[in-house]
Amino acid sequence: MNRLWFGMLVVVTTSLMGSSFAVGKIGLAYFSPLLLVGLRFTLAGLLLALWVRKKPLPRSGREWGQLGLIGFLQTAAVMGCIFLSLRTITAGESSILTFLNPLLVVIWGTLFLRVTYRLSQWLGVLIGLCGVFITLGFHLQWESGTLFGLGSALAWSIATILVKRWGVRFNVWVMTAYQMLFGGLLLLLMGVTLETPKLIVTTASLLIVLWLAIMASIVQFATWFYLLSQGDPGRTSAFLFLAPFFGVLSGWVLLGEVVMWHVYAGGLLIFAGIFLVNWTFGPQKQLLASSHAAKAKA
């Protein structure tokens, strides 16, 4: 892929990812967390499913099951954890914890895709983990929001590996539509059973849901899945550090959140770790061979 085009798509998807934290936190004034994210992805999934109805659909129960699992992890688990975390921690902190994902992808890529990474890349993982520790204020304060933020990173990293293994079997738009729909319906069910539903209908609340459903879901997910399909998931995921940058920036602009110095320091270390993961990649032939071998076993 052309590097300029790749870079433009990276900025589009990561800016939408990052800003959705602040927009989502604004939305919590009108909706309970799981209900908001459930409405967001059910609406997005339905709209996109209508648009792709003439495109090739999964041909077997197994493939539908794979889409369902991706939807559970990528949408229900990730987004549910994010919106629950926003009740007790800032949008910037939640985004930084969530985008620990690229570092976890390196670990899962080694274990399950048999991708070979250099020692410097593993050093990048360790530096990134230190950055997360500093971001949390030099101590692990096990608040519910912190745990939910870490849970979102774990679920997303697993979903990334599954998308890389199974994504070639699906049309990217079909995969985007149905994983969002499956995840959104599950979140709606959770929203009416696991929490006290809150719904305040105003022009502002409707605009928030539409923005989250169309721009921050349909456009963002489709762009992300397309980028994942173009290369190694570890290298592509490394660019996700731009998302917490936009998350912190939008939290400051839209919510007036105060960002403590240790968040900046930890963020710089996470960036350094992801830089090492991305820019000291192993020999291209070796990685391509590993990737092809993994695809052959999928």
Distance CA 262, CA 267 (A): 8
Distance CA 284, CA 297 (A): 20
E-assigned strand segments in the chain: none
DSSP 33-59: HHHHHHHHHHHHHHHHHHHTTTSPPP-
SS3 for 199?
strand
More confident residue, 203 or 146: 203
Q: Name every residue whose Cβ is closer than 8 Å to that of residue 155 and which is 6 or more positions away in sequence.
A: 73, 74, 77, 78, 81
Distance CA 134, CA 100 (A): 13
User: What pLDDT, on the 0 to 100 scale, is given for residue 85?
Assistant: 87
User: What pLDDT, on the 0 to 100 scale, is given for residue 137?
Assistant: 66
Model confidence at 293, in pLDDT bands (50, 70, 90)?
Answer: very low
Average pLDDT over residues 113-123: 77
User: What pLDDT, on the 0 to 100 scale, is given for residue 200?
Assistant: 95
Chain segment 205-236, per-residue pLDDT in tens: 999 999 999 999 888 878 887 887 776 666 67
For residue 296, pLDDT beyond 50: no
Amino acid at 117: Y
Q: Name every residue whose Cβ is closer than 8 Å to that of residue 274 and which is 6 or more positions away in sequence.
A: 102, 103, 124, 128, 238, 239, 240, 241
Model confidence at 140, in pLDDT bands (50, 70, 90)?
Answer: low
Let me know if 169 is exposed, middle or buried by CB neighbors in 10 A (0-12, 13-18, 19+).
middle
Which two tokens mark 168? 């070639």
Q: Are 94 and 149 in contact (CB under 8 A)?
A: yes
Q: Name every residue whose Cβ is closer than 8 Å to that of residue 296 and which is 6 or more positions away in sequence.
A: none
For helices 119-135 and 101-108, the axis angle rounded to 10 degrees is 140
Q: What's the chain's average pLDDT?
A: 81
For residue 116, pLDDT beyond 80: no
Which two tokens mark 175? 């995969």
**Cα four-point dihedral sign 100, 243, 43, 36:** positive
Model confidence at 4, in pLDDT bands (50, 70, 90)?
Answer: confident
Chain segment 6-46, per-residue pLDDT in tens: 888 888 898 898 888 889 889 999 999 899 999 999 999 99
- Kindly report the backbone phi and psi dihedral angles of residue 89, in degrees, each rounded to the nearest multiple of 5, phi listed first: -130, 165
For residue 291, pLDDT beyond 80: no
Amino acid at 110: T
Chain segment 231-276, per-residue pLDDT in tens: 666 667 667 767 777 877 788 888 887 777 777 787 788 778 777 7
**Number of Cβ atoms within 10 Å of the Cβ of 7:** 12
